[in-house]
Amino acid sequence: MHERFLIYNASAGSGKTFQLVRNYLKRCLSTKDAKRFMHILAITFTKKAAGEMKVRLIKQLKLLKSYPDIEAGDRAYAEELAAELAIDPIELKHRASAALSGILHHYAAFNVSTIDSFTNRLIRSFSKDLNINGHFQVELDNDRILEEAVDRLLDELEEEGPFTEVLRRYIRQQLDDESAFDSRRLLINRGKELFQERAFPYLEALKELDPETLLNIEAALRGRLNQLRGSFQKEASDFLQRCEELDLAGEDFRRGGLYSWVQAISQADFKPFNKTQIETFEEKGPEHIPSTKGKKKPALNDANILQDLYERAKKIKDLEEGSFEEYWILDRVLKGIHALALLGEIEVRIDQIKEESGRMPIGDFNKIISKELREQPAPFLYERLGDRFQDFFIDEFQDTSRLQWENLLPLLNNALASEGSSTMIVGDAKQSIYRFRGGDLQLFVDLFSDKDASNKVAGRELYQRKVVPMEHNWRSRSGLVDFNNRFFETLSAELPNAEYREIYKQGKQVPAKAEGGYISLELLDNRPSPEMEDEALLNRINDLLQAGYRQRDICLLSRSNKTGRRAAKFLLEQEANLDLAPGEALQILSADSLLIGASAEVQAIISFLEMSEFPKDKERRRAWLALFAERFCPFGQDPHDFRKAWSEKNLKEIGEGLNSLFGSFDFDQWQAQELLEKCYQLMQLFEMPWQNDPYLQFFLDQIQEYQSHSRPVTAEFLQWWQETGSEKSLSIPEDTNAIQVMSVHKAKGLEFPVVIYLSAYGALQSGGGSTNPRAWVDLDPDSFGLSFSFIDLVKPPIPEFQPQYTAWYEEELSRIMMDNLNIYYVAFTRAEQELHIISQMPSKTGNQQSFESFLSRYFEAEEPGIYEIGSRQGPVKEEAEQFGFEPQSFKALPWMEKLELISNVPRHWQHDKLADARWGTKMHQLLAQIRKSSDLDQVLKRAQNESWLDEEDLIQLKPQLNNLLNHKDLAELYHPDGRVYNERSLLVPGQGKRIPDRLVSLNDRWYLADYKTGVELAAHQQQLQDYAQLLKEAGIELQKAVLIYLGEELKVVKLKL
């Protein structure tokens, strides 16, 4: 009998994917039903992981199908799997063959996906039941919708009003805190919290807190704060006044402590007694007040005066002890109250945008399902899915959010209530590094420690869970495994949470690979210069290359992209100093090298758009001219003179200059076109190899994707580009021979022969940024006027007086420290053969909980230098492989043809000799580029150069195009003096775009043409009539409108106007 609920506690390199695939196959092949796979749902954390799992499953099924004609190891695997299923291996072979065939024929039912993909499908399937527009668009870029909301909010800003006052106070506070002044950027940064799962429970209530209400609450809270401050200051002032009357000063009090403390409170500098001061004060009483000098003064030898001073001080202490937590929380809430009001207003605008545009941020999926599950007594969503899925596989469970888990539970429980179903969960609390995306490691901890009670209903256990520890490490050599076991168990002793300490104590692994493994730690001087870190990296890379490692064997890991970016830039600058093989070029794959904004061609297009959109901006013009001169300065001409000559031109003159350089460029016409058209024409104008350049292809894709959600306004696009678009990245082949540079988060799930961890230093208590951690906290509405708030958590001055606030702070601190430890664990466990750590000497007076302190103590390092553990075996020899790739020529039709293909093209086109639908699109594309008859030869030549028009096409199409351009009834449409608008969009409110093929203005008269192929249809005339009506409504009266039927025999049909 199979286990119903398996939980695999899988440390790094323990073979969890192998187990997932094996268990999936056991369920998939448990019966002769070829469609058994349709009843299995496998959920992974990333699309890449889902794709890899699908590939592994299909590969294994193909192997099983080929039994027994497979290698010995694969035969043993097949026979072992057959034995577990209690069937003959030949029967297993037949089942695998049937399952593979079923998957390939019903691939859409092969349910291996991310949880977001699954919830997306679920919501679309039940959109009608959920009262959701089934045609919603998934918004993957939260920043885009957030920026729109902030812009809308600022556009609605009035000169005076509650919101204006809130914003004014918020900005003033940020300036007081020395924050940079950019109100839009401040609002966007703060608004990102709205997309965090931890904020979801508060969003509805937040929208109800309008600015005016919060201003009233602020006034009340500030009044209470001032009242508390006043009571503290009054008692302190009375104490100091009494001291003045007695001619006493700070030096008369023991160590000046009591006097300076009271003096600080009188100045509203609230510094409570520390624990030692409190104990001393209370235990030793009045006699402990005077200093040696003070005892010489008569007043401090009077027992009554000492008692009076003691009572006054004790009153202040008791007042502070009883009210300081309220005072401290009030201060925190007031510092965050303006941000709270702004968040509410931004959330209202986000809802408006979602409603108007039909967009849904991906994070909304789980909110919608959660809301439905709360409101429905019997969750019909899952009832209707329950019979479909019988087995569940959930990978990377430690990165699952609480809301995701709560949404999946009814589905799992519904299935597991039936016999024959199963669930398998795989995770590792030590690799939970996505808390900033909602990942909650406590979920997995509670599951494997059996604290989670989700399998118990009314005291009755629905099913039992079995925890399977995966103790072996199949990735790293034994020396690396032993090092990580010892190092992280030692380091985890610093964690304040006992449960987290136990995770690392129990998570030690058993090496399963060969002996060996090498670890080096290079400690630089404390606070090393960037040059010192760069030199250490260069030496390490050269050392590895000399040892025989290839570039692709090496991965540079860092916590921040900024560190990796600097390292990649440095290595590229130092290529000549690297010990590369003769003829070998340095290749770096990093987040930056794959950024679309890193492309010189893309930069040239963007800079031209900026220059044309902001012609008076000298900086933008200089940026474009620098790129333009570098590429197009004529041979023999000084680039400086070239730039100077062009810098003095106005936009019209620049257009004329481009026309003289390249020909066929009308600046006014170009500027009137839509964004995508502009960029494509620039690529053609500047002769950019867009068919073969993945950056340019990706750039066009990004523009198209942007226009599907936003207005195609160039200025708005340029703003989006600066803030978001330029950070988009390409994907690359995995076998490229290049040094990889990535963040630890990107490296999760990957492995490399050699890992170099950069800048391995910093406090374990730090959240990785310069700001204090923030948290949503529940409040007593009677005391604070609010039931919740979003506050900055700074270290509590005296925990004994602040139990509630201290609990908030320590809970967040514990999570931050676990986050940091997990990041180091993930980084160190990526290495297969060698791990190199570059750090710094710890400060002698600094934080003893810094990572560099732990490293130096573990390696027993007392001075800068290189410290080693283990021995080097060198790279593992593999069969020679060819790395890198040669991009194939990408034969693509320009964008206009792609748009034409998307439209509802009739499938009944008929051409005697050209009976091919592609013929029509080629004709359309050529005509879209022709403005006057004399353009024909140039357009045809360009099409041939771009490889989408061959010689045979030319022979067939050129005579037809000549007939068209010289037709007596079409002279006005192709007149050399006409102003041409090819495929220009007409916006129809509420209905999208209409795109007539050709519109021409000649001598203040307008002419319209639309190209057709095949037989005449009444719908064609109706379409042309619609265009004419739209133009009339726009103030354009047509002189002539014609349908042009293309083919060997040209036919022109005039529309009666």
**CB contact at 8 A, 741 and 567:** yes
- Find out whether 10 is annotated in a ligand binding site: yes
> Residue 182 corresponds to which amino acid?
D
17 a known binding residue? Answer: yes
Which stretches of 860-985 are assigned E, i.e. beta strand? 865-871, 979-982
Answer for the pair 142, 363: CB distance below 8 angstroms, yes or no.
yes
Three-state DSSP class for residue 136: coil
Helix or strand holding residue 391 (H, E): strand 391-394
Ramachandran quadrant class, 205 (left: phi over 0; alpha: psi -120 to 50; beta: rest):
alpha
Confirm or deny that 378 is annotated as ligand binding. no
Phi-psi group of 73: left, alpha or beta (phi > 0 → left; psi -120 to 50 → alpha; rest → beta) = alpha
What's the distance, Cα to Cα, between the start and end of the chain in Å?
80
Q: Which helix or strand (DSSP H or E) is residue 492 part of?
A: helix 478-492
Q: Check whether 11 is labelled as a binding-site residue.
A: yes
Question: Inter-axis angle of helices 16-28 and 72-85, to 10 degrees?
Answer: 50
The closest of 1024, 1017, 1018, 1023 to 1042, measured between CA atoms, is: 1024
Nearest CA among 603, 563, 570 for reference residue 586: 570
Distance CA 454, CA 412 (A): 10
Q: How would you write 279-298 as a 3-class SS string?
A: HHHHHHHHHHCECCCHHHCH
Which residue type sits at 202? Answer: Y
Omega before residue 68 within 30° of 0, cis: yes
Q: Please, are residues 651 and 615 in contact by the beta-carbon 8 Å criterion?
A: yes
Label residue 555 left, alpha or beta by phi (over 0 means left) and psi (-120 to 50 means alpha).
beta
Where does residue 791 rank: exposed (0-12), middle (13-18), buried (19+ CB within 10 A)? buried
H helical segments located in 86-161? 89-105, 115-125, 142-155
Task: Give Cα separations from 590 to 531, 593, 707 (angstroms).
Answer: 20, 5, 28
- Alpha helix segments (H runs only) across 829-950: 851-858, 895-902, 917-929, 936-945
The answer to whether 15 is a known ligand-binding residue is: yes
Phi then psi for residue 754, to 5 deg, are: -130, 135
- Residue 736: how many CB atoms within 10 A of its CB? 14
Report the alpha-carbon distance of residue 502 to residue 289 in Å, rounded.
47
Tokens coding 742: 């990535």
Q: How far apart are CA 1 and CA 3, in angstroms?
A: 7
d(CA 300, CA 312): 15
Token readout for 91 is 């029967």
Helix, strand, coil share (%) of the chain residues, nearest 5: 55, 15, 30
Q: CB within 8 A of 633, min separation 6: which ones? A: 639, 642
- The alpha-helical segments, DSSP class H, found in 177-285 are 183-191, 200-208, 211-245, 257-266, 275-284
Local structure of 831: helix, strand or coil:
strand
Find the Cα–Cα–Cα–Cα dihedral 399, 403, 408, 410, rounded to 10°: 150
Query: Binding residue per annotation — 13?
Result: yes
AA letter at 537: L
> 3-state class of 988 per DSSP?
strand
Q: How far apart are CA 812 and CA 938, in angstroms?
A: 67
Cβ neighbors of 944 (< 8 A, separation 6 or more) are: 950, 951, 954
14 marked as part of a ligand binding site? yes
**Binding site listing for ATP:** 10-17
Binding residues are 10-17
